[in-house]
Amino acid sequence: MHKIMIVEDDPKLATLLASYIEKYGYQVLAVEQFDTILERFQLEKPHLVLLDVNLPRFDGYYWCRQIRTVSTCPVLFISARAGEMDQVMALENGGDDYVTKPFHYEIVMAKIRSLLRRAYGEYAAPITERICELNGFKLYPERMELELNGVIATATKKEADIIELLMQCSPRVASRDELLEKLWDDQNYVDENTLNVNMTRVRRKLQELGIHDAVETVRGSGYRLVVNWHEGGAR
């Protein structure tokens, strides 16, 4: 059963949408706290998001960009803004389609079914999953999961990107420039402190698998992943 996440701050409309979508056999969840949308998304892992543009504090464009840092699931914008530039903004910020209010529920359902077919169904491109492996330690970049000796940990998109680069470079050093390029976001400038913070998170993530002190800081150069674990249990 596909799960649909509704991010709409008009509770009446959100309820009506949820009721209509559920009639077609989908599981529906409606967000009520609009400052923790990304956290709720990561917890629930929906197959598709219905996302309003006008939301409290941050708009839908912002939240779509945040979702795109961790997932490629379809995002369908629903908005009272009917201007061409609003639709362009939605697509340029990571959205897949756009429908304006007031809308016919049948149109929304048709777009939902179309996006789900493209992403997961008969029109979906076949996916060959990549696996990066180093001495029994596995990274699944598309799933954003790490595995060692049967223990699995989830990672954020940035953590997975960094770990992938470290694994590809090992035993040589991954330069700070290479890592900064991996972390680069069109919306934000990534500075040295951002890199340091992300490396700290990577180390903590590896510790969840029992891998300690494997990421070395090479002063003036970058970071190196040192294989200090073995298959069958971390040293």
pLDDT value of residue 233: 52
- At a CB cut-off of 8 Å and minimum separation 6, what does 200 contact? none
pLDDT greater than 80 at residue 49: yes
User: Does 139 score more than 80 pLDDT?
Assistant: yes
pLDDT at res. 122:
63
The reported pLDDT for the residue numbered 216 is 94
Structure tokens at 235: 């040293």
* pLDDT confidence bin for 80, thresholds 50/70/90: confident
SS3 42: helix
pLDDT of residue 148: 92
| pLDDT value of residue 234 | 44
At 189, is the pLDDT very low, low, confident or very high (cuts 50, 70, 90)? low
pLDDT 10s digits, 61-79: 999 999 998 888 999 999 8
Answer yes or no: is pLDDT of 165 > 90: yes
pLDDT digits (tens, 9 = 90+) for 102-126: 889 999 999 999 999 888 876 655 5
The answer to which of 136-140, 179-183, 214-218, 219-223 has the lowest mean pLDDT is 179-183
Are 145 and 137 in contact by the 8 Å Cβ rule? The answer is no
Q: Minimum mean pLDDT among 38-47, 57-66, 68-77, 175-184: which range?
A: 175-184
151-154: Cβ within 8 A, 24+ apart: 151/208, 151/209, 151/210, 153/205, 153/208, 153/209
Q: Which of 107, 111, 92 is nearest to 48 (CA)?
A: 111
User: In which band, very low, low, confident or very high, does the pLDDT at 180 lie, cut at 50, 70 and 90?
Assistant: confident
DSSP 203: H
The pLDDT, as a whole number, for residue 187 is 41
Q: pLDDT: is 164 or 157 the higher one?
A: 164
